[in-house]
Amino acid sequence: MPLPVVFALAKAVPVRYRALVLLATFADLRWGELAGLRRGSIDLDACEIRVVESSRGVGRRRAATRDAEVTGWSADSRVPG
């Protein structure tokens, strides 16, 4: 997706979702990884994101969260700074 389209999309969504659009694009995170992020997972000083949980489920169903280490995967992302 061209960068101007990414930034136009990020600008078009409600402010609370802008980070999700940008992280999905630039940190290459999947929806479950984005949904599993917590404030403590993001280190702004180091420009790092630690993915330790992934969420499943959509809509009104309760999302089941699993620990990344238990499922055998983990992902760390460095955000371009």
DSSP 8: H
Number of folded domains that form the chain: 1
The answer on pLDDT for 39 being more than 60 is yes
List, for residues 70-81, the tens digit of each pLDDT value: 333 345 555 555
Q: What is the pLDDT of residue 68?
A: 47
Residues forming beta bridges with residue 76, ordered by sequence position? 50
| Mean pLDDT confidence for 57-75 | 48
Supply the mean pLDDT for the chain: 75
Q: What is the pLDDT of residue 15?
A: 95
| Mean pLDDT confidence for 37-59 | 78
Domain holding 69, by residue range, is: 3-78
The pTM of the whole model exceeds 0.95: no
